Amino acid sequence: RDRNPRPPAPRRPRFSFGVIADIQYADLEDGRDFLGTRRRYYRPSLGLLRGAVAGWNAAPRPPRFVLQLGDAVDGLNARRRASGPALARVLAEFGRLRAPVHHAWGNHDLYNFSRAELARSGLNSGRLGDPAGPRPPAAPADGYYAYHFAPLPGFRFVLLDAYDLSVLGRDPASPRYREALRLLREKNPNADLNSPRGLPEPQFVQFNGGFSRDQLAWFDDVLTFSDSNGEKVVVAGSAATRQLCDCGQVTSLPWASVPSSVKWR
């Protein structure tokens, strides 16, 4: 008997994928975030994205796809009426990537564009969704922007709309806007609805959002579909989604978040 057995050879990965988030590009000098605590590198972010794309393209095992988890452009672009040109620059860099990109929508995207505009933009990657399995009942401009895809048999990725229930990007006359505003005012008595000061549930602020019952029902259908097919599931969105499901077959991206960005549900 061999007293010093060799360790088993490492298993070859089935596939790889890239993840990037919070590019928040703007053609501006460096600044600070909303709270003034974190430095933001608006103009250099485009070069960092370019470097990430070059790295993915040059990898020995290039990623099968990339997840872009929201906030491709910073909200300051809207004040300067530079939203369109800023997004065009970001999408041009992604255009160099030799792999498809799945885009989530974040609050900064919704500061710059309405949901209808995002649905018509290059940030709508819903065409990459899997035609098999449950599909959202309405277009993202009116309902929620969510879809799922299977990069390989046995794996399914679900992209969720973390601002489905939000005042951001919604028509003020729409039922979803009115529902979000009612919930905000019920949970947040502050004059500034962006302030979490004194709130027992600090996620109920205007720059945040959550999941409607319709979207959660669709998500449950997707998980049921994946479970019946023995699939492992990765859930992705513009903020932490791990509170939606607590089971070994489901992984969430991103994993962690600050309290004020935990999603409503």
Judgement on whether residues 152 and 254 belong to the same structural domain of the protein: yes
* Contact call for residues 125 and 84 (beta carbons, < 8 A): no
pLDDT value of residue 244: 63
CB contact set of 230 (below 8 Å; sequence gap of 6+) = 154
pTM for the full predicted model: 0.89
Judgement on whether residues 117 and 141 belong to the same structural domain of the protein: no
Final residue of a domain: which of 105, 127, 149? 127
Span 166-186, average pLDDT: 94
Judgement on whether residues 162 and 112 belong to the same structural domain of the protein: no
Judgement on whether residues 175 and 110 belong to the same structural domain of the protein: no
CATH number of the domain at 35, please.
Answer: 3.60.21.10
Judgement on whether residues 140 and 251 belong to the same structural domain of the protein: yes
Domain count, the chain: 2
In-domain check, residue 8: no
Judgement on whether residues 225 and 104 belong to the same structural domain of the protein: no
The whole-chain average pLDDT of the chain stands at: 90
Final residue of a domain: which of 65, 92, 127? 127
pLDDT value of residue 8: 74
Phi then psi dihedrals of residue 228, to 5 deg: -70, -20
Does residue 134 register a pLDDT over 60?
yes
In-domain check, residue 192: yes
Judgement on whether residues 121 and 145 belong to the same structural domain of the protein: no
User: Which residue do the tokens 């065009």 mark?
Assistant: 88
Domain region containing 148: 129-265
In-domain check, residue 76: yes
Judgement on whether residues 108 and 138 belong to the same structural domain of the protein: no
pLDDT value of residue 246: 54
Lowest-pLDDT range of 36-40, 163-167, 206-210, 214-218: 36-40
CA distances from 119 to 93, 109, 155 (A): 20, 11, 26
Q: What confidence tens digit (pLDDT) does each residue in 64-109 have?
A: 999 999 999 999 999 999 999 999 999 999 999 999 999 999 999 9
In-domain check, residue 161: yes
pLDDT value of residue 5: 72
Judgement on whether residues 72 and 191 belong to the same structural domain of the protein: no
Best CA proximity match to 163, nearest among 105, 235, 218, 243: 105
Span 44-60, average pLDDT: 98
Final residue of a domain: which of 72, 101, 127? 127
Judgement on whether residues 135 and 260 belong to the same structural domain of the protein: yes
